[in-house]
Amino acid sequence: MFDKIQTLGGYIHEYQKSLQAPEKFWSRIAETFFWRKKWDKVVEWDFKQPEIKWFVDGKLNITENIFEKNLFIKGDDTAIIWEPNNPEEDYKKISYRQLYSMVCQFGNVLKKQGIAKGDRVVIYMPMIPEAVVAMLACARIGAVHSVVFAGFSANSLADRINDCSAKLVLT
């Protein structure tokens, strides 16, 4: 496990290590994750294509590294503090255990709607905890998500939804 970087000097030191030996640096960090299948090669690049691949042939689910890896240790710790725009409303605190339950539940909702690994889902929601749940649920089941915001025009939204061949739009 890594010590937290406490100073600017500590950050610069770690940054320099990442530049001098990127494979060694990122491999050391990746070792702290739970991998379903460990990678064969840390990085592979071809700047003529251009193509860069990290952790070639490795398999992981990042939500398992958020939840299962830490649930028994940090389950009751606060994962999200959400403050509404309206000062009259109370803020929400959501624990890792609550968030895990919400993500699993919504992941099942997505699957019942026919969403599977590799499907694209567009998330058109305000900055609320449910948007985070939707993003994590997509990652959990292997769906790709794209977040779009209300600042886009109707045509721009339609373009983004169509361009990615979204199977579902969450609002």
In this structure, the dihedral spanned by the alpha carbons of residues 121, 129, 142 and 54, taken in order and rounded to 10 degrees, is 110
- At 4 the pLDDT is 84
pLDDT value at 87 more than 70: yes
Enter the pTM of the model. Answer: 0.83
Residue-averaged pLDDT of the chain:
93
Tokens 């449910």 appear where?
130
Percent of the chain with pLDDT over 90: 80
- For residue range 66-80, what is the model confidence (pLDDT) as tens digits? 998 888 899 999 999
pLDDT value at 1 more than 80: no
The whole-angstrom separation of Cα 124 and Cα 2 is: 36
**CA distances to 31, 33, 153, 167 from 28, in Å:** 5, 10, 44, 37
- For residue range 13-67, what is the model confidence (pLDDT) as tens digits? 999 999 999 999 999 999 999 999 999 999 998 889 899 999 999 999 999 999 9
Banded model confidence at residue 2, pLDDT cuts 50, 70, 90: low
The whole-angstrom separation of Cα 94 and Cα 57 is: 34
